[in-house]
A and B are shown apart, each in its own frame.
Chain A
Amino acid sequence: MKTNLLEICYLIGSVTFILGLKMMGNAKTARKGNLIGAGGMTLAILGTIVLFVKKDESGVVNPGYTVPTMIYGLIGAAILLGSIIGWLAAKKVQMTKMPELVSIFNGMGGACAALIGLMEYNKNLGHTGASIAIVLGIIIGSISFSGSVIAFLKLNGTMNQPIRLPAYNILNTVVMIAVFAFGGYMVINQVSSHMILCSLFGAAIIYGVLFTVPIGGADMPVVISLLNSFTGLAAAFGGFLYGNKVMLTGGILVGSAGTLLTLVMCKAMNRPLSNVIFGAFGGGGAVAGPGADAKGSIKDIGVSDLAVLMNYSKKIVIVPGYGLAVAQAQHVIHELELLLEERGVEVKYAIHPVAGRMPGHMNVLLAESNVAYEKLVEMDDINPEFEQTDVVLVVGANDVVNPAAKTDPSSPIYGMPILEVNKAKNIIINKRSMNAGYAGIDNLLFYDPKSSMFFGDAKKALTELVAELKTM
């Protein structure tokens, strides 16, 4: 009876996952979809706790078994603690830190899956199928965990330069072979050795680090999406082990959806996944790009001149980037937009698919400051309009407007579709300094004769611009 009821809970949970994920693909139903998934998850968790039935090794039900109260206490405490920390972290953290948060929560899931495997290994000796699921769960969960932690540190700014380890490819391959060697040995020989178990765990953790550390720049969202699907896969292996349908559904769904999402993100950058993972982006750090000698000079423009230029324009396009988010200048830029529109200037925002740290980052940021949804124009729609644009204001964006992506085959971003701002009549770039952007490469746009640099912290500079415009 209890078991059947639990299976029904799991069925409902599985349905809510599929339904929820489907609804999240549409802006109108997205929020509800998330809530539905959360509801199904809660049901599955409660059911697991309340409807537990003890079975011995051969699957025979042991009706007389009561779970010690202490264990219920520990489970309750863990859930309470996790809920409080998770809720606070998710609610309080700045919008700009969302990507980091997604990464770290992903890592938690991976670690959970790995721990399950570690705990179950000794109990399942002698069963090859179970051992395979356990070993794979440990490997994939651990890689996802350590990889996510590294991604978190990189997005956080704690780990800035893509680190190029010596003989990286050899190191990577050796560790990967070690992981599979330990795993294979354990499955084939069914050995109960703590040392081999820990070695497998350790090697997988190290591989996760090696996998993520050399990847930098705009590739982080892709990596996080990939690690997301890894954790889904690890959850699926757990489900396989226990014959637990809700873990299987949730895990496979996320594993497959996550993989497809990763491929779709790669397509938006016009770079194959293999290039993202194995072709470490750029040379690390602020290395001058090729042809660094014959570039030309840069001009800069002051607040009053810029205000005049913008005040008498007919059409202005703003290109927001990560710098806008960092400076928290989204409210000021909205003020600027409204002020200009009052003066009869047409203002639009050009949103590149990988602007910011995650797809949709800029949309979320600008929505936060109440910018009308219709003003955000996707790259393919706005590119043809640049020829008729009087002023392009690039705020905190760099790689997404770098013409090297079209003209320089040796550039790491070559082939990535960009916002063709160099077709506009005037290009104004707001940056704090001449330091290289996230990708660490030189931006040829700065040297375009139509370009002028508008130096300063985005929030401060834009506030001054607004003040200047108000005096006119």
Chain B
Amino acid sequence: MELIRQAFSFFGAHQEMIYFIVLSVFVGIEVIGGVPTVLHTPLMSGANAIHGVVIVGAIYVMLNVNPSNTLALILGFLAVLLGTLNVVGGFVVTDRMLEMFKKK
């Protein structure tokens, strides 16, 4: 019972967040609806690039890091590097795929 009450109060305290999540899920579904098969791959590549936004978190961690913590500096550097690869690589690959779709 206590668990149920906790779950309900969690919902109450985080209503906006929950609405946000639910609406975002619906937006994601709507955006994909009716896409022709031929565009599935570029779309997947584009979505791949967008989730590179995780780099923002990596940058945030780095900006907060204690400069004397060498391990954190290394991991942080690595995280930003990997995030950049996702973003830059992702958008450029998608552009190359879509380049082929110019109407003649």
- At the interface with chain B, which of A29-37, A165-173, A279-287, A313-321? A29-37
Tell me, yes or no, whether A101 is within 8 Å of chain B by CB.
yes
Neighbouring B residues of A221 by C-beta, 8 Å = 41, 44
**A70 to B21 CA separation, bound complex (whole angstroms):** 37
**A189 to B19 CA separation, bound complex (whole angstroms):** 30
Please pick, from A101, A246, A251, the residue contacting B89 in the complex, using a CB distance under 8 A: A101
Are A34 and B95 in contact (CB-based, < 8 A)?
A: yes
Q: Place the interface of chain A in its size category.
A: 35 or more
Tell me, yes or no, whether A472 is within 8 Å of chain B by CB.
no
Are B89 and A89 in contact (CB-based, < 8 A)?
A: yes
Neighbouring B residues of A109 by C-beta, 8 Å = 48, 51-52, 54, 82-83, 86, 90
Tell me, yes or no, whether A265 is within 8 Å of chain B by CB.
yes
Q: Quote the shortest CB–CB distance from B62 to chain A (angstroms).
A: 5
Are A31 and B99 in contact (CB-based, < 8 A)?
A: yes
Residues of B within 8 A of A (CB): 17, 20-21, 24-29, 31-65, 67, 72-73, 75-104
Which of A37, A67, A83, A361 is most buried by chain B, counting CB atoms within 10 A of its CB? A37
Are B54 and A113 in contact (CB-based, < 8 A)?
A: yes
Known A34-B98, A90-B96, A264-B40: A253·B50 in contact at CB below 8 Å: yes
Q: Quote the shortest CB–CB distance from A76 to chain B (angstroms).
A: 9
Neighbouring B residues of A252 by C-beta, 8 Å = 21, 24-25, 28
**A87 to B51 CA separation, bound complex (whole angstroms):** 17
Please pick, from A48, A78, A372, the residue contacting B56 in the complex, using a CB distance under 8 A: A48
Q: Quote the shortest CB–CB distance from A434 to chain B (angstroms).
A: 30
Are B54 and A116 in contact (CB-based, < 8 A)?
A: yes
Are A25 and B39 in contact (CB-based, < 8 A)?
A: yes
Total A-B residue pairs with C-beta atoms closer than 8 Å?
Answer: 336
Q: Quote the shortest CB–CB distance from B40 to chain A (angstroms).
A: 4
Which residues of A, 255-284, contact B by the 8 Å Cβ criterion? 255-258, 260-261, 264-265, 268
Neighbouring A residues of B84 by C-beta, 8 Å = 78-79, 81-83, 86
Known A25-B35, A119-B61: A78·B80 in contact at CB below 8 Å: yes
Q: Considering only CB atoms, which chain B residue lies closest to A241 in the complex? A: B57
Tell me, yes or no, whether A455 is within 8 Å of chain B by CB.
no
Neighbouring B residues of A91 by C-beta, 8 Å = 92, 96
**A86 to B40 CA separation, bound complex (whole angstroms):** 22
Are B41 and A254 in contact (CB-based, < 8 A)?
A: no
Known A31-B95, A75-B59: A25·B34 in contact at CB below 8 Å: yes
Are A247 and B101 in contact (CB-based, < 8 A)?
A: no
